[in-house]
Amino acid sequence: MVNKIMETAVFLIQCKDQRGIVSRISEFVFRYNGNIIQSDQHTTDPENGQFFMRLEFCFDPDFVSHKHLEDEFGILAKTLNAQWQIHYVRQRLRMGILVSKQDHCLLDILYQWKSNELAVDIPFVISNHEDVRECVEHYGIPFFCYSMDGISKTEQESNILSMITGTTDFIVLARYMQILSESFITSFNKPIINIHHSFLPSFKGANPYRQAYERGVKLIGATSHYVTADLDEGPIIEQVVDRVSHRDNVDTLMRKGKKLEQIALANALRAHTEFRILRYSNKTIVFS
């Protein structure tokens, strides 16, 4: 009986460290009859640090409404001078996908979505090329192509922006080979997750696999990060590597890299959609 009406939510909280925070927040949950499922906490420095918390709990929405919960928590947060968000697990995030021609990350994402391994809604996939239309539509997802042909970059970005604004909670660049302008990023003002095909900060910019080949590295990597106006400099979410050798050429590096890109991006998307990530400075806290 009871189970039917319970709901799960996640608080993400950050503030200056101070005595009694955990106590006050957990008391808050208790006061509203909530039960903590998982709580993670991190303090950057015991003496003078920042406090970060992720608190996953279930509660009875008939006992306390979303609005009431949020209003009351807002009051508590104010006394802590804390930034906070609440996410209701049933309300799946709406994830827009931007992609160019390469489809390996896209297909991996769509497969996980279809298999219920990635709990998001995907309102559409946008590309600057037609190449992936068929495989997107095969999954029953609307596909829109905003080509760069014959229009300015500003115009193209503006078209995409009007598409994604209000319809998405975040965007994933699943190998989107255009650099987004600072104005685009600022206007959208929601998280954008990218997959970079190198072990950042090595091999920023173009052709990282060729750069890796030229340098003769013995491991290659892939990095998923939040996009900021500084290209390839945003907060890193996840990195993975694989061993390579003198036997590898640029082609085999690219082939091995595709698998790494899938894994790094999938892990990053899972962490983001499970509300496990807090950002500060130019870094991430990713609770496991």
Active site residue 149: no
Q: Are 33 and 63 in contact (CB under 8 A)?
A: yes
Within a 13 Å sphere around the CA of 274, how many CA atoms are in the beta-carbon half?
14
CA–centroid distance for 190 within its chain: 10
Catalytic-role residue among 103, 108, 169, 232: 232
- Residues 149-168 touching its own copies, rule: CB under 8 A, are none
Question: Smallest distance, Å, CB 172 to its own copies?
Answer: 18
Closest Cα to residue 102, out of 141, 121, 128, 138? Answer: 128
Pick out residues in 4-23 that bind its own copies (CB under 8 A): 17, 19-23
| Binding residues among 217-236 for its own copies as defined by CB under 8 A | 217-219, 221, 235-236
Quick one: 154 or 201, whose CB is closer to its own copies?
201
Tokens 């192509």 -> residue = 145
As measured in angstroms, the least distance from the Cβ of 223 to its own copies is 8
What's the closest the beta carbon of residue 265 comes to its own copies, in angstroms? 12
Binding to its own copies (CB under 8 A): which residues in 131-150? Answer: 138
CA atoms of 50 and 91, how far apart (whole Å): 29
CB of 145 to its own copies, least distance (A): 21
Contacts 24+ apart (CB under 8 A), 248-256: 248/213, 249/213, 250/209, 250/210, 250/213, 253/209, 253/212, 253/213, 253/220, 254/209, 256/220
Nearer to its own copies, 164 or 217 (CB): 217
The nearer residue to its own copies, 14 or 156, going by C-beta atoms, is 14
Out of 39, 159, 178, 187, which residue is the one contacting its own copies (CB under 8 A)?
Answer: 39
- Which one of residues 5, 30, 162, 210 is an interface residue with its own copies (CB under 8 A)? 30
Strands 192-196 and 170-173: parallel
Closest contact distance (angstroms) between CB of 215 and its own copies is 6
Residues 235, 279 contacting (CB under 8 angstroms): yes
217-230 b/e with 16+ CB inside 10 Å = b?
beebbbbbbbbbee
* Number of shown-chain residues binding its own copies (CB under 8 A): 65
What x-and-dash track marks residues 166-195 binding its own copies by CB under 8 A? Answer: ------------------------------
Could you tell me how many residues make up the chain? Answer: 288
Q: Which of residues 198-217 bind its own copies (CB under 8 A)?
A: 199-203, 215-217
Inter-residue contact 5 to 32 (CB < 8 Å) = no
- Positions in 94-123 near its own copies (CB under 8 A): 104, 107, 111, 115, 117
248-277 burial: b if 16+ Cβ within 10 Å, else e: beeeebbebbbebbbbbbbbbbebbbbbbb
User: Helix or strand or coil: residue 163?
Assistant: helix
> For binding to its own copies (CB under 8 A), which residues are involved?
3, 17, 19-24, 26-27, 29-30, 33-43, 46-47, 58, 104, 107, 111, 115, 117, 138, 199-203, 215-219, 221, 235-241, 243, 245-247, 255, 259, 263, 266, 281-286, 288
Q: Catalytic positions, please?
A: 232
